[in-house]
Structures are given as structure tokens and as C-alpha cells.
Amino acid sequence: MSRNNQSEHGSESIDESRRTFMKATGAVTAASAVGVGTNTAAAGANEDDITELIEELSLEQKVGQMTQVAIDDLGEGFGPETAFDDHDDVDTLGQLLAEHHVGSVLNGGATGPTFDGEEFVAGLNDLQRYTVENTDHGIPFLWGGDALHGNTLLDGCTSFPQRLNMGATRDVELVEAAATHTGNEIAAMGGHWIFGPTVDVLRDMRWGRYFEGHSEDSMLLGELGRARARGFQRNGRVAATVKHFAGYGTPNTGKDRAHARTSMRDLRTRQLPAYRRALEEAETVMVNSGAVNGKPAHVSQWLLTQVLRERYGFDGVVLTDWDDFERLQSNHQYLPDTPDGWRRAVKQGLEAGIDMHMCGGETPPTAFIETTIDLVESGDVSEERIDESVRRILELKRRLGLFDQPCVDEDEIGDLVGGARDVSERLAKESLVLLANEDDVLPLEGTEDVLLTGPGIEGETPNRFLMQHGGWTLGWQGIEDGDLTEDGPRPRQNTIAGELADRLGDRLTHVPTEFEAAPYGSIYENFDNGFFDVTDEQEAAVVDAAETADTVVVVLGEGPHNEGFGDRDKMRFPEAQRDLVALLDAETDDDVPLVGVIVAGSPRGTDETFDRLDAVLFAGQPGSDTGVAVTDALFGDYNPSGRLPFTWEANVGHVPLFYDDYPPRQSVGAADGMVQFEFGHGLSYTDWEYAGLSLSTPAVEDPASTSTVTARVGVENTGDRAGEHIVEVYNTEFYGSVLQPQRRLMGFERVALQPGESATVDVELDLATLEVVPGDVPGDQAAVVEAGEYELSVGDETTTLTVENEASITDPEPAPGRYDIDGDGSEDFEDVMALYRRLKRRKRGESGRHESGHGRGNDRGGERGHEWDR
Ligand code: BGC
């Protein structure tokens, strides 16, 4: 069905009910002005209509719009009469929407009240119809959820490869195609909001959300984030979310929601630029649950207003993360755990720039609603501030077409669930990274007797597939949160065991070893992300099969996990897996290749195990098409082309050793001992050679006006197999006014060549990747590309790019707030005067003590402004 048809169908019933509502009340409501009940986009609202609507809303109704409520604990299905069990303050979903005017609901953790697509749509339509009919202004609610690697909320879904896999492909278009499909599914489900892309720079494999972040490289991450946001939003009916703004990806010591390990310079040249790229597309932002430089992000005016709004010009909706006002008291211990502490949390969050609060398991919706109303009524927060947020929220609803088409066709979802198989399969294949391949033991001939072993079957329940999907798949911590039921939901999928059996028939012996996913438990017991074991019988079967096998394939890795429950303190494989590999090594002849396939969302494995393996394929968490992708790669039907999107340290003690850190990344001469595999590492079954790196222009006069340069390089497939290859151009040497990373990725391009074939490949280089913050320790000057000679490299080919004049590409201003002398959140004339007086006093030799002692929090900034004037 076409979009026009859906629009007509979807709005018909509402149209009818709105007419009934308006007849009954005899009122022409502001909602009619914004087009509820009309059935063409042309009759839709404009900005003036939104202004009119806001004028008509009561304070309660406005604050309701700013409230998002998790409706997770619903049992089967959902509708207006469904009990709201998450908190005691509201009885039914209908009440939540009609009496408390809640503007948005979410199903967190990639699960809804039903796994059936059509049931889902029917429930959501029902609820939406009820909301429009039973509220004064008929404003539809926004539904949001975590469709983070596909629409992994429905039975039979396509689970696209996880974000880390996406980073390995460097295939921006394909990643966008997957996101487009996801956005279409969410729209067809009646949803409006995807809480992705995640654009948090990755650096620490101990972090339980490592699998989510795409890459440790800011540019690659930002490009993929932007493409995914564009894909999600392509149909115009769904909003994407850039999260978690900002600095969430580098929590200290890898503990989820800890304060960020970063510096001002790092934040401004590596972390913020990634979000900024994705913000070019995304309509909404979710805030970092952690703190940056000692300030919780949720109350940071600097991040949420000065940087995000004023500097980046972002005017979309800013959403808290789950219960994050409460977390200011519990997690951060930033405010006391008292009613007053909670009130201050809400106040500071609103002042910092939050538009909508996500009420999860800890925050009863009325707690946020009543506190906000009280803050306004007592004059602590202005109603204008509230109106500002409500405008953004209503504008979003208008842009997404909610006023025109609040409900959707119930038949549309059926055809989409489990679709885009070609995209998923290709993405899975491109994401495989061949780490090692001694003596070219891979690919296999296809005629071997193969022993397949490793974590696989527990009891009667086949669960190898839990590892291949990871978190946010039909469950927060993975499918059914790792606790499988016989008739529970499953993604559309194929497995390594299944595909190998299909190809090898009797020549495959499969000895699955014990694996129990225990996402909530393993953090407390062993930090292994699951429990792994090899029973005596399994050991005996392995020994037996090893004797006759021509090749052994051993699957290694980690179970599904998510957020804090996924945090770990190990990089090496769990003991049972290490022992299994040692056993295989001992029980096989030297000429029997041992092939390791790592199924994990992080760099799992150390040389203790790698040294025993002849070939290692890092599969990541490739999702639905893991079986086909891995098997094709093992047999050479697909030639691996993925490159690591992260640095694989030699062991956990060296974490973090990200590739573009300042030198020295490790003690002099110790690189080999500290890094197992470098960022960008990835082997192929064929050989690649480069020739003649040149630039479209060897010298750039002004990077502000010429911010890209094209590199051209000859690439030849000199081996005897067809293959794909990612050409990466790095800046490898530069001496500037501050430390420079030893390598910086500036651009990449994928090429496919037959054996003996060569091509000239053009790679667009983004000079913004060269920006640094000059100056001394504060790191607050404007970021610039410094003048000088930059060595650029592709493999061993090098050339020089000369930058003739220093210039800013992304932002010519110093760090926001640098001139905010009085700390009131704006840089204005008052600050100039204050600075003038400060300098004058300093000249007279007076102490500036009281001037610099202004550290007590944003809410006192205004008062301090007066102090300065005295
Ligand atoms: C996560 C977010 C997610 C939200 C809703 C939070 O715990 O940090 O990334 O979007 O839950 O499920």
C-alpha cells in the first residue's frame, strides 16, 4: 500500500471520531487548527498553528507533553484499559494519556507488550485513537523504542549486524540501507522515534556497551551515525536520536554511567565532532547518563545549551535517558536523596536545556509532572522555558505527520518483518575481519572432515544464536534476556552450525559445549558475559573427533549483555574456552588447522589463545545472517574485507590504547607487546598492492574554504582470488603546536577487484579530521587545521599535503563559555564589562578571589552577574 493510501486509511477513523468529539463539545479546538482529523498533508499545521495550540494548553497539559513514560510491564497487548503496572500512581494506559496528558510513551529494551507485528499495530492504533478522542486538544502521542540493529522488537525480525560490525564494514551506504529498512518498519508499526544512532566514541572494551558504538574513530563513527540517522528518518515519519550526548562512550575504567575519561581538547576534537556529524540529520538528542569533567551531563548548560543549541544550532527535542533526573541523586550522588534534592534535579535539568523526561522504572510519571508544575507555579522555572520545550515537541509531532495521520494501516508491517535479507547478509559478510591466517589455512577446500565445537547447546534449548545477536534483540540483554522459552520470539536467522551442516553433511562433527547466558548474573560472578563449561562427555567427544578431523573450527566469545550488566574486567577468553583450545591443540596433529571464530561484541581474546590457532576470524555479532556469512567466509565464497574499527590491546591491562591517542601510546619499544591488532587491521585471501599516491591538490591555501581534498591511488589485486578492499588514507606525520596522533583516518573507500585487476581509487579526504585545539593546557581556543606539511599514507605509499594557512573548518570560535565570565550561561556585554573590571583590579594588584570563586552551580549565575556589576 502506498503512503497516500495509508494516510487516507489511517486517518479515516480518527476523522470520524474527531468530528464526533467536536460535535459533542461544540468547540473548535486548537487541535483542529493543527489538522487532527484532516486527511491530507496539505491541510496540516504550520508554525503559527503550533503557537496557537500552545496558548490554549494548560500548564498541566504542557508539562504532560514533556513527559515520556516507559510502558514496559504490560503483559499481553496494549490498549487504553491495559493496566499500567510500572508505578502505582496511574492505573491504566488510558489514564496516563488522557488524565496526565503524557506526550510520549516508550518500550525500552527492545521489547514491547507483544512480539506480533499486527497485534502491536492494532494496540498502538487503539491507544492513539483513544488519546486523540479523549483529550481536549487531541494531540497524538509519540511512541519511541530501541530499534538499534534492525527493528528487533518483533518475532521473525531481521537482526542486522551490531554497530561494532557496521564499523568494520566502512560501508556507509549499506549501513544506511539497513537503517532505512528499520525506519520503515518502525513507521509501519505505528512508531515514531528510534533511540539511535549511538554516536559514543569507543575506547574501553571493559564497557558493557562496547558493541554499540561503531568505532573508536570519530570521523568513521560520525559518518556512520549520520547515515543511520538519515536512513531512519528517510520516510519522514520517524525521528532519529543522537545519543548519548556527550562523552558517554568513555566512562572511567569502563563502568557504565561513570564520569567520562576525557579532556577538553579530546572532547572538542574527538568526541563532540562525532555527535555533530550525526546531528546534521537527526531530529532528537538523548543525553549522556554520566558526567563530564565533574558535571553530570543532564544538568550541564554548557553541553545542552551552549554547545548543542547555540553553537550547533540544534533546535530539536532533547530527551533525558532513563530516569536520569533520579540518577543525579542515586548514581552521581550529586544531589541529596530528599524531596528537595529531586526538585533541584528537575529544575537544573530543565534549566540546562532538557525538553522531555524519560520516566523509567524509578520515576513515577506524576513525580516529574507535579514537580515541574510546582517549579513553574512557584516561579522557580519560567513558563516561557516550558513553552520552548513544548513547542519543540509539538513541532516534531507536526513534522512527523502525527496530526495528519496518527494511526497506521495494520497490514503494512507484515511484509516488512524479517525483510531486507540481502542488505543484512551483505552487511554481515562485509563486517567479518580476518585477523590471522597462517600458511593460508583458510579458505577451506570444502572437502574436509570438520570438527565444529565451542559454546553451543544448553540442555534441549539451542542457544548458539544468543551470541550472534547480542543485546537489544527481542530483549534488553539479548533474546528473552537470555532466558529462552520454547515458543518465545526469535529473529529470522541462520547459524554457523546449521550452515556448516548443510554444506558438509556427514563430514561435519558438531560437539557443542556448555553455554548459559546470564546477563544479569555474570557480572557479579565472573565478568565473563555468560557461563561457559566443557563437560567430561563433551571433552571425550572432542578428543574423539579431533583424531580424525582434517580441520577444527572452534567458536569462541561472549554471551549477550547490555549496559552496566555487561561491564567486565577481562579480555582473555573465559577459562573453559581457553582450556578447550589448549585441548584441541594437544589432540590434533600439527597439520590439522585450528580455526577460531570469535562471536563477541568486543575484542575478546589474547595471544594465550591466538598462539594456538592457525586462523582467526573476528565475526563480531553479525545477527540474523551469521551462519551464511561465516560459512561463506570459511569456504572462500566470500573473501573477508572488514577492518577493525578499534584497537585490540594485547591484554586488559593495556586498555585503553586507542589508535589516535597522543604519543606515546605505549612505552618506547613496547608496541608489539601492548597491541594485539591495530585499528584498521584486516586480512584477505588475496593480496593487495598500492601504487602512486597523489592528491587533487598538493597544497591547500585555506582549509576553511577548501575542506576536502581527493587522494588518488592505484590498487591492484595481485593474488588469485576476487575480493573487496577498503582503501584507507591516514595522516601519519605532522608537527604542530600541540601533540599529534601518530595516525588519523582522513577518508576511506571500498573497491572490488578480480584477480590481476587494478583500479584507480579516489578517496575524499576530510580535512576537519586534522583539526586540533592549539594553545596551552586549558584547551579552549578555536579548533584549527594548523599550517604545515602533513604526511599522508596509504599502506607504504606516502605523499605530502601542505596547508598554507591555519584555519578553522568546523567552528571558528573558542570553546563556548570561554567568555562567560559571570557564569550565567551566555556570553554578552556583561561579560566584557566583568572582564574589564577583573583586569583593572588585577592591574591595581587586588585579589581576584571572589571573582574566581564562582563555582556553585548554574542556578546562581544570574545573581553573580549583579555581583560583578558592583
Ligand atoms: C539506555 C538508552 C535507551 C533507553 C531506553 C537506557 O537505559 O541508556 O540508550 O535508549 O534506556 O530503553
CA 196 to ligand 1 center in whole angstroms? 10
Nearest atom in ligand 1 to the alpha carbon of residue 109 is: 12
Q: What is the mean pLDDT of each run of 10 residues along the chain (870 residues)?
A: 32 37 32 37 68 97 98 82 91 96 97 94 96 96 98 98 98 98 98 98 98 98 98 98 98 96 97 98 98 98 97 98 98 97 98 98 97 98 98 98 96 96 98 98 96 83 89 97 92 96 96 91 83 95 98 97 95 97 97 98 98 98 98 98 98 95 84 90 98 97 98 98 98 97 97 98 98 97 98 98 98 91 84 89 69 36 35
310 DSSP 8-state letter: I
Determine if ligand 1 sits within 6 Å of the CB of residue 146: yes
* Residue 711, H or E segment: strand 708-717
Nearest atom in ligand 1 to the alpha carbon of residue 144 is: 5
In this structure, which residue's CA is closest to atom 8 in ligand 1? 321
Determine if ligand 1 sits within 6 Å of the CB of residue 130: no
Buried b (16+ CB within 10 A) or exposed e, 105-120: bbbbbbbbbbbbbbbb
pLDDT at 37: 43
Virtual CA dihedral for 795, 798, 799, 802, nearest 10 degrees?
80
pLDDT at 569: 93
**Among the listed residues 774, 659, 541, the one whose alpha carbon sits nearest the alpha carbon of residue 217:** 659
CA 856 to ligand 1 center in whole angstroms? 30
**Among the listed residues 316, 395, 366, 313, the one whose alpha carbon sits nearest the alpha carbon of residue 54:** 395
CA 811 to ligand 1 center in whole angstroms? 30
What's CA 471's distance to the chain center, in Å?
A: 12
Separation CA 478–CA 255 (nearest Å): 20
Q: Under a CB-based contact definition with an 8 Å cutoff, are residues 761 and 713 in contact?
A: yes
Classify strands 723-733 and 744-753 as parallel, antiparallel or unpaired. Answer: antiparallel
pLDDT at 257: 96
Q: At what angle do helices 421-430 and 172-188 cross, to 10 degrees?
A: 140
Question: What's the pTM?
Answer: 0.93
Separation CA 587–CA 597 (nearest Å): 19
Nearest atom in ligand 1 to the alpha carbon of residue 110 is: 12
Distances (CA, A) of 94 to 91, 123, 145, 410, 537: 8, 12, 19, 21, 56
pLDDT at 460: 64
Determine if ligand 1 sits within 6 Å of the CB of residue 251: no
Determine if ligand 1 sits within 6 Å of the CB of residue 566: no
Residue type, 865: G
CA 108 to ligand 1 center in whole angstroms? 7
Classify strands 708-717 and 699-700 as parallel, antiparallel or unpaired. Answer: unpaired
In this structure, which residue's CA is closest to atom 12 in ligand 1? 108
CA 227 to ligand 1 center in whole angstroms? 21
Separation CA 480–CA 474 (nearest Å): 6
Nearest atom in ligand 1 to the alpha carbon of residue 289 is: 8
Q: Under a CB-based contact definition with an 8 Å cutoff, are residues 67 and 96 in contact?
A: no
pLDDT at 5: 32
Separation CA 269–CA 275 (nearest Å): 11
Q: Under a CB-based contact definition with an 8 Å cutoff, are residues 33 and 139 in contact?
A: no
In this structure, which residue's CA is closest to atom 7 in ligand 1? 322
**Among the listed residues 472, 458, 560, the one whose alpha carbon sits nearest the alpha carbon of residue 514:** 458
Separation CA 840–CA 98 (nearest Å): 60
Q: Under a CB-based contact definition with an 8 Å cutoff, are residues 728 and 748 in contact?
A: yes
CA 298 to ligand 1 center in whole angstroms? 14
Determine if ligand 1 sits within 6 Å of the CB of residue 822: no
What's CA 162's distance to the chain center, in Å?
A: 10
pLDDT at 659: 97
In this structure, which residue's CA is closest to atom 6 in ligand 1? 322
Determine if ligand 1 sits within 6 Å of the CB of residue 281: no
Residue type, 417: V
Determine if ligand 1 sits within 6 Å of the CB of residue 44: no
Burial class (CB in 10 A: 0-12, 13-18, 19+), 407: buried
Separation CA 797–CA 694 (nearest Å): 9
Task: Number of helices (H) and strands (E) in the chain: give both, helices first.
Answer: 28, 29
CA 324 to ligand 1 center in whole angstroms? 10
Separation CA 629–CA 425 (nearest Å): 7
pLDDT at 847: 53
CA 363 to ligand 1 center in whole angstroms? 14
Choose which residue among 86, 107, 146 to substitute to test ligand 1 binding: the one with the highest number of ligand atoms within 8 A of its C-beta.
Answer: 146
pLDDT at 18: 35
Alpha helices in 602-728 (DSSP H): 607-610, 626-635, 671-674
Determine if ligand 1 sits within 6 Å of the CB of residue 471: no
Q: Under a CB-based contact definition with an 8 Å cutoff, are residues 474 and 489 in contact?
A: yes
Q: Which three cell numbers stand for residue 755?
A: 584477480
pLDDT at 459: 65
What is the maximum alpha-carbon separation in the chain? 92
Q: Under a CB-based contact definition with an 8 Å cutoff, are residues 693 and 798 in contact?
A: yes
Determine if ligand 1 sits within 6 Å of the CB of residue 113: no
pLDDT at 38: 38
Q: Under a CB-based contact definition with an 8 Å cutoff, are residues 745 and 217 in contact?
A: yes
Burial class (CB in 10 A: 0-12, 13-18, 19+), 159: buried
